[in-house]
């Protein structure tokens, strides 16, 4: 396939672009490689040769790509796949992010999972309280519920915490202590002041 680079002297910005002997840009020929040859391409020796070479290149590339897909040597090992899947599953569980601060260095945020784990931990520091599920909700503008992919709005954190208590525990004072404990620990760890802490006593257990 005859190539010509004399055109580059006329247009220095086109210096790297290869052209055929007939003056056509090789990229132009490549762009129409899947179409039938034009009238010029049917008669031009340079274009015919270029098309044949490009067809060969494309078929070799396709064949190599296809071979790579099934080549056992190029597949990730079981350990690599397991490591990626383990991290992927953990990341899905971590949920949304809540922005905590923006310092002079950059941003600090916390995952929703870390926040709910912290809340459950805070609840279980109260003797007798067994923390169960915890969910966090924030409302969007106008009181609508924020989409699940959005970051948690830290100015409007509302939680629902489900707990089990000993059957001998007096529930009203326990709820006051629990709210104080959860609020204080979350505040000291993250600086988030929760707007609403709903507690559901879903079970009583015998001591």
Partner 1 sequence: MISDQPLRARVVDLDLVVEQLRAVLLAEPGLVRLEPTVRSTVQRLKLMSVAVFQQTFRPAGEDPTVSVTDGLTLSLTGTTVNVHIDIATDIAHPALVLSERLQAITAETIQRNGLTTGMIDVTILAIEGTPRSRPAETPIEG
Name the site residues for partner 1 (rule: CB under 8 A): 76, 80, 83-84, 87-88, 91, 94, 97, 100-101, 103, 105-111, 113-114, 117-118, 121, 124-128, 166, 168-170, 173-174, 177, 188-191
Q: Which residue has the tokens 């169960």?
A: 132
Shortest distance, position 112 Cβ to partner 1, whole Å: 10
Shortest distance, position 167 Cβ to partner 1, whole Å: 9
**Per-residue burial over 83-104, b = 16 or more CB atoms within 10 Å of its CB, e = otherwise:** eeeeeeeeeeeebbbbebeeee
Give the count of beta carbons closer than 10 Å to the beta carbon of residue 69. 8
Shortest distance, position 196 Cβ to partner 1, whole Å: 21
Q: Where does residue 106 rank: exposed (0-12), middle (13-18), buried (19+ CB within 10 A)?
A: exposed
Q: Which residues contact 118 (CB under 8 A, 6 or more apart)?
A: 185, 186, 189, 190
Return the structure tokens found at 182.
């959860």
| Inter-residue contact 53 to 1 (CB < 8 Å) | yes
- Report the DSSP beta bridge partners of residue 189: none
Shortest distance, position 93 Cβ to partner 1, whole Å: 10
Q: Which of helix, strand or coil describes residue 203? A: strand
Q: Which is nearer to partner 1, 6 or 65 (CB)?
A: 65
Q: Which is nearer to partner 1, 63 or 177 (CB)?
A: 177
CA distance 12 to 135: 63
Shortest distance, position 83 Cβ to partner 1, whole Å: 7
Q: Which is nearer to partner 1, 50 or 165 (CB)?
A: 165
Shortest distance, position 44 Cβ to partner 1, whole Å: 36
Q: Which is nearer to partner 1, 29 or 98 (CB)?
A: 98
Q: Which is nearer to partner 1, 29 or 165 (CB)?
A: 165
Q: Which is nearer to partner 1, 160 or 189 (CB)?
A: 189
């Amino acid at each position: 396939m005859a190539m010509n680079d004399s055109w580059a002297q006329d247009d220095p910005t086109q210096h790297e672009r290869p052209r055929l002997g007939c003056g056509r840009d090789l990229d132009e020929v490549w762009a129409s490689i899947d179409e039938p040859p034009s009238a010029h391409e049917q008669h031009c020796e340079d274009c015919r040769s270029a098309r044949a070479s490009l067809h060969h290149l494309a078929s070799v590339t396709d064949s190599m790509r296809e071979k790579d897909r099934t080549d056992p040597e190029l597949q990730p090992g079981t350990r690599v796949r397991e490591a990626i899947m383990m991290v992927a599953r953990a990341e899905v569980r971590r949920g949304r992010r809540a922005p905590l601060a923006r310092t002079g260095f950059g941003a600090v945020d916390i995952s929703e999972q870390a926040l709910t784990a912290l809340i459950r931990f805070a609840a279980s520091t109260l003797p007798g309280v067994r923390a169960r599920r915890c969910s966090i909700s924030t409302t969007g503008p106008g009181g609508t519920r924020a989409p699940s992919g959005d970051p948690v709005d830290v100015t409007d954190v509302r939680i629902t915490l489900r707990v089990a208590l000993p059957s001998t525990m007096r529930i009203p004072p326990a709820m006051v202590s629990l709210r104080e404990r959860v609020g204080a620990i979350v505040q000291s760890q993250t600086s988030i002041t929760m707007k609403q802490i709903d507690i559901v006593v879903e079970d009583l257990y015998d001591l």
